[in-house]
Structure 1
């Protein structure tokens, strides 16, 4: 059985806390609602609620200083539709409070790509413009011995 160009996407979104308890709870709820609004079905390349691991609803549960939202999924050759996937992910980020986000795209044919977003100022607020994504490419090359 062949896996035929499986691609794995995984990442994390570093979100925001505040010294003000109510503000911190608001940040968490807005982010939770944004992810829950994705639903369980989507057109390829899909981005669904089931791909995310949200922090608990209790303040600071599972968190030291920064609440982290994790995501992961596998696809058949998603790199051919990567622009569409990025657009969906950035649309999600535009509705959230966050400090930074990083996504790893692991492909069988072209290695690993690391995409990262950084906010301007202390944190990104819903509706703010998202800065351009930065991409790094890692590719293992096999050496032929004489």
Structure 2
């Protein structure tokens, strides 16, 4: 039983420390844009498709709804986005990039390349395999939704 409780035997702790390491690695790259990593994730989703609902952003980014509300308020205050209520249903809000938010996409263009340089110990095949395994593991923790 004591072996099960050793920190070195905990897969979750490896993910925790890796997540922290990624966040620290992104911090200086995002500083020029004056955004945090969760704000960056939200902007990446909006750079793919602007004008989406808050609910679809939560689904795409997998960021908690309460946290997403705070992220969106900060991005709006910084001028990256605007938030508009739906004309038909005032409870639904649409998030749109501003011209400043679109310009930030150009500035952020090198960030993925700079992060890949930090992963030079992994081959492309290993990186692909790792992504597949992480997605598979993530599926173990996702609730089954009613159809």
Q: Normalising by the residue count of structure 2, what TM-score does the alignment of the two structures yield?
A: 0.28
- As a proportion of its length, which structure holds more strand? 1
The structure whose RCO (Cα within 8 Å, separation 6+) is larger is 1
Which protein is bigger by CA-based radius of gyration? Answer: 2
- As a proportion of its length, which structure holds more helix? 2
Q: Normalising by the residue count of structure 1, what TM-score does the alignment of the two structures yield?
A: 0.29
